[in-house]
């Protein structure tokens, strides 16, 4: 059955791989599943046809036969459940990998998104300079804890899993901030994720869309 995902017609990041279709592409690449991409403009995302797929008018979405999904956590989980390579067979290890998926989107991603909001949407506010360090410190709290748990391991719980895929995807947004460099174990973890051939293919695919649009 054909899998179709949606992605930005033109990503605001210009192809740095930060738009969330990249994590879905990555999961599909890890699972060895071919997929098609329907590009949507910001306008089209808010129109009825797309809202039927995604109630919040965002990307990515995932369609496979009668099934339509939104939310990258749910999409990656669905892919990981249906195909080998992203979740361990052992029931307890599988539950722990799923826990890391939730931790990525529910505990680590929120303060990182706050930083994006602070930098992009609040830069002109009189309290911006005062607020920024507070937001950054909240991220540091999480990174310190995450780094301690990771320790010297390659991945969060044994072999690479969908939990790592989501966590690396979330941390990628910090790359340009310099904050990650304060946590060398996490910087190395991120680099390991980025070095995976499946990630490389996913990144190249989204970059091709964005550079084709730009030229």
Ligand X SMILES: N[C@@H](CCC(=O)N[C@@H](CS)C(=O)NCC(=O)O)C(=O)O
Q: Which residues contact ligand X by CB under 6 A? A: 19-20, 45, 57-59, 71-72
Q: Which is nearer to ligand X, 119 or 144 (CB)?
A: 119
Q: Which is nearer to ligand X, 9 or 71 (CB)?
A: 71
Q: Which residue is nearest to ligand X (CB)?
A: 58
Q: How far is the CB of 200 from ligand X (least distance, A)?
A: 20
Q: How far is the CB of 96 from ligand X (least distance, A)?
A: 21
Q: How far is the CB of 61 from ligand X (least distance, A)?
A: 9
Q: Which is nearer to ligand X, 106 or 148 (CB)?
A: 106
Q: Which is nearer to ligand X, 59 or 180 (CB)?
A: 59
Q: How far is the CB of 2 from ligand X (least distance, A)?
A: 21
Q: Which is nearer to ligand X, 71 or 93 (CB)?
A: 71
What number of other Cβ atoms are within 10 A of residue 25's Cβ? 25
- Dihedrals φ, ψ of 30, to 5°? -60, -35
Q: How far is the CB of 49 from ligand X (least distance, A)?
A: 15
């Amino acid at each position: 059955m054909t899998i179709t995902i949606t992605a930005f017609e033109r990503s605001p990041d210009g192809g740095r791989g930060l738009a969330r279709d990249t994590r879905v592409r990555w999961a599909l690449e890890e699972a060895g599943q071919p997929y098609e991409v329907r590009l949507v403009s910001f306008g089209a995302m808010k129109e009825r046809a797309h809202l039927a797929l995604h109630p919040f008018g965002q990307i990515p979405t995932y369609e496979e036969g009668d099934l339509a999904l939104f939310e990258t956590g749910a999409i990656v989980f669905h892919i990981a459940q249906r195909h080998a390579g992203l979740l361990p067979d052992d029931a307890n290890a599988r539950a722990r990998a799923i826990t890391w998926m939730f931790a990525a989107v529910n505990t680590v991603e929120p303060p990182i998104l706050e930083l994006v909001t602070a930098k992009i949407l609040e830069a002109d506010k009189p309290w911006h300079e005062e607020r920024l360090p507070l937001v950054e410190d909240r991220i540091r709290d999480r990174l310190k804890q995450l780094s301690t748990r990771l320790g010297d391991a390659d991945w969060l719980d044994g072999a690479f899993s969908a939990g790592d895929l989501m966590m690396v995807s979330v941390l990628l947004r910090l790359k340009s901030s310099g904050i990650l460099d304060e946590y060398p174990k996490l910087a190395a973890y991120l680099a390991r994720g980025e070095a995976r051939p499946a990630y490389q293919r996913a990144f190249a695919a989204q970059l091709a869309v964005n550079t084709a649009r730009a030229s």
